[in-house]
Structure 1
Amino acid sequence: MICLMMSLRTALLRLSLVSLSVILGAFGTEWSVKYNQQEICALKGSTVFMNGTFTHPEGLTVTETFSIIDPVPGVEPTDLSKGPDYSGRVECLTDEQKRFSLKLSDVMKKDEHQFYFRIITNVEIERWVGTPGVQLRVTELRVEAPEEVTEGETADLTCKTTCSLTDPTFIWYKNGRPLTTKTIKNNQLHLQTVSSEDAGRYSCAVGGSQHLRSTAHSLRVRYPPKNVSVSISPSGEIVEGSTVTLTCSSDGNPPVKMYTWFKGSTSVGEGKTYSIPNIRSEDSGEYTCQSRNDHGQRRSTAVNLTVFYSPKNVSVSISSSRHTLVGFSVTLTCSSDGNPPVKIYTWFKEGGTSPVGSGHSYSPLQSGSYYCEARNQHGAQNATAVSVEVKGFPYAVIYAVAGVGCGVIVLGVISIFLIRNKRRVKKSEDLLVDTVYSEIWARSATTDAALNRSASQEDVYANVSASRPEENGKAESSPVKTSVCMAAVEVEVKEESQEDEVQYASVRFHHCSPPISLHRLWPAEGDGSKAPSLHRLWPAEGGGGEEPWTNQADLFTYMKVNQ
């Protein structure tokens, strides 16, 4: 019975609305309301406009328009903008061309109703409700896609709605960033060959409402391990005796849980980390880790583990297989193993405390036992001493070398002296032609029988001073005394040539004889036939003045007497 009454009520309401829509007004004009769309699909949270046009009988003035939902016959509809659920979200707009627009903001799922346009005029009975209204449907965007795909496969992601939007343009996002390099067709995103890089959170939106994105969908991609790497702790220099930990990192889906460690090609451990306590130099080398999951395996790039340590295996070798070398030097060579390599070697003789040498090799000068010390920044180690017996050590070699060195020095000094002397002799020879012997004190060095000797006779000259002849060529003497006789000089005259060039073969020193003053007078200029002569400048016995010596015999006689 209740159902029958409700059906009858609904039928009467529809009949009344239809009748009203076609009734002519009191002034002969027809009421009408036309909607542009009978049904609208709107995104949740968007703003929707329900537009249309209307007419009313002439002579009436429209005083109010608003939107209503779900009208009840016999009950005056309520303006939605005044209801608690729509306050501030609904607005009814009209213009002079009798166009209207019902604006609904921040659409919600509960807004799915039939919306009508209500007109109120200045005549109480002239009111109108436009039917059949606009059906509003509300939808949300939703990404439909597989949860997980395997690398290398294809995948399609679809942006789904519960109703059909009007001419939508779909926009796809991955991890919040728009996708521009992928294939988008209608509401579908196509991934041709899936890779691990395609894993992420995908969402979609519609152009014009980009802020109304769908809930993000996570796409997982299964793939074998990649980006496998090894890190060393502690970082920096690794010193022998410390503890070192190697850690393997990788990227894989599902996550890697199987790790195998290799030194070179030999397996040395399992697990994500590999520790080496009390590390030794033998642990140096290249290490890799291999990661494995359900889809494959991959090995990391090798890392070089370098262990630094103090010198070890220090030993001394001899340049000969015997320990005794006669006549030659012995060379000792120090060898060691260290990291960094040893560069500081110090040599010691057993029984002594002070070093006897340094360097990679050493040549001992004495017999004895010798050893070397090898040192780097991490420590030092001594070698076992070796005995060396040196017999007949070649001191002659040292002497020879020293002699040669001294000889070279002496020859150098002599060469310098000869060069300088030669220059002086040349300078003296240049002056010899113009030299005048101005004063001679002499004595004889021979017996009376030597008065008439030849050019090989020995004469003694006590003092010789020189002056140049006058440039006017006159046969005059200008004696200039330049020195004082301290000792006699014995000169052996080897030969006197026609050019008056005297060559002296030897010189010996004696006490001075009583002075005898001589002048050698040069001929006047242009008189080349005259030879220079010796003149006695002090008075002769029995008279004064200048008297020439005509021969050397007189001179030698005087020298003999006054010896």
Structure 2
Amino acid sequence: MDKLILLIFLLQGVWCGDWSVSLPEKIEALSGSCVTINCTFDIYNKYDNDLTDSAAGVWFKDGIDFLKNVVFNSSRTNLYVKGEIIGKLKSKDCTTIFYNVTSNYSGQFFFRIEGNGGLKITFSKKSALINVIDSPPNPTVQMFKDQMEVEVHEEVLEGSSMCLGCSAKTLCSSSPPTLTWSSTDRLHLNESSRLQLDQQKQTEIISDLNFTATHLQHGVTFICTITYQIQQRNTTAQNNITLRVQYPPKNTLVSVFPSNSVLEGSSVTLICSSDGNPAVFNYTWYRENGGQLEELQTGYNLTFNVTDRTHTGRYYCQTKNQHGTQNTSVLLDIQYAAKISLFSCNRTDITVCLCEAHGNPSPKVEWHLSGRPVSNSTNTFISEERLSSTDLRSFITLHQSLTHTDTLQCVINNTHSTASKQIQLVASPQEMTRHSAPVSLAPSAASSPAPSSCSSACYPATVSMSSLNSLPFPTSPGSPHPASLLAPWNSAPAQSVSLVTPAAALSQFVLPGTVSCVSTPKPALKTPKKATRSPRPQPSPKPPGPSTPAPPSPNPSGPLLCSPEERLEATP
């Protein structure tokens, strides 16, 4: 019994090893290309010496009958299948490549090893199925979030670390295939490729696309394309994956209908829109009030049926979903017609007027003097002061002489209206003296040359530039102006001064009250009727003759003047 056990043990040492072969279960081959069968085998150790460089590999197809099923023998040529064993049989590597694959190559393939001596064994228990296809298979696409594989239809949160993987069999092309990524939105993609063996020890190419998920990639389709070169032509296959990203509200926008600028009294609607995944479920409206936000209402729109200028301001829309909020704002501009709020003038030796106007859009201001537009010149200065976005103040300064008929007009306008106001300018004291009402002359009832006297309600009596006994009042160069002669006696009681004109002599003025006027000898004039009124008791006219006036006392308040329309009455 012991001898039997020893014999069995010795036989195990001699037959150590096993008859086995390793083949892929299924191989896809592209028609027109080649196919590689990865193959290794094992034999009993006692046959190792028979496994020499002269050993041959044989392949059967769809059976192991030597007469019907042998399609390849590495020791022979001109068989059914063209190919070669690219592995080293001595090292028990039977990897084989077949060229110019056609659809007839599809089937089950069995391997046989033939060495020296008794090494001739067919591995009939294991085979490789070759499937010949006319076009390349689509690559496989996978999605990984934070290095964990997820379903391709699963939604990911914005900010997640993403990796899209694409893999494909290298098959057997004349040059290695290539994998490329593209996207429907033409995003810039950072990809990397590598080769590795799959579980069936077939070589596959893998391309990884790494990025951080953002809302810009939501709904974007990423496309992986494999390109094979088959007999000097390219054949491609594709697969894709659409990314779905959840994110807080983005691109919030307020639209105003009919527009941001609307006329006072009309209707306006503000509409808020936003992009978010999941969709925005809450819209809240606010208005800026004194630096604080005042909540108005909820809902995606805000409507004012009848607007007024108090509605002008900045409005905010806040959008919200389960991942966050976002605010945006719009400036609502209520426009209205232009109006003049203030128009006034101040007269001294110059005329200064101001005109304040408001309106939206801000109005423009023009000045018209006696119906004619005026602009900046040596006698006119115009300036403007911006009080606010809707209020404007305009100044005009006039240095020129004015008459009692001059008018000044402020004209304003904006896109909605035109308005104006007018003022009748009143001449300055100096100009009033130059343009006061004429004094009527009356001859004395006595001798000729007849002294003349005239009375006036003015204090002092006004003197006109009109004719004196049909002769002009002093107009020659260098002649003193009447105002300069009258001014020193504006408060003196009954004084006189002599004055000579180029054509007539005016010997004296008696101020205040009755004024005595003496002209050169002329025919006596018809004595007018006695005046019907006198503004104050008048002293008797002084007889003509030389007189020396007493020094007057100036009145700092200036002369009292008649209005241009007042008529004066003379007394003989």
State the TM bucket, normalised to the shorter chain: 0.3 to 0.5
TM-score normalized by structure 2?
0.41
Which is richer in helix? 1
TM-score normalized by structure 1?
0.42
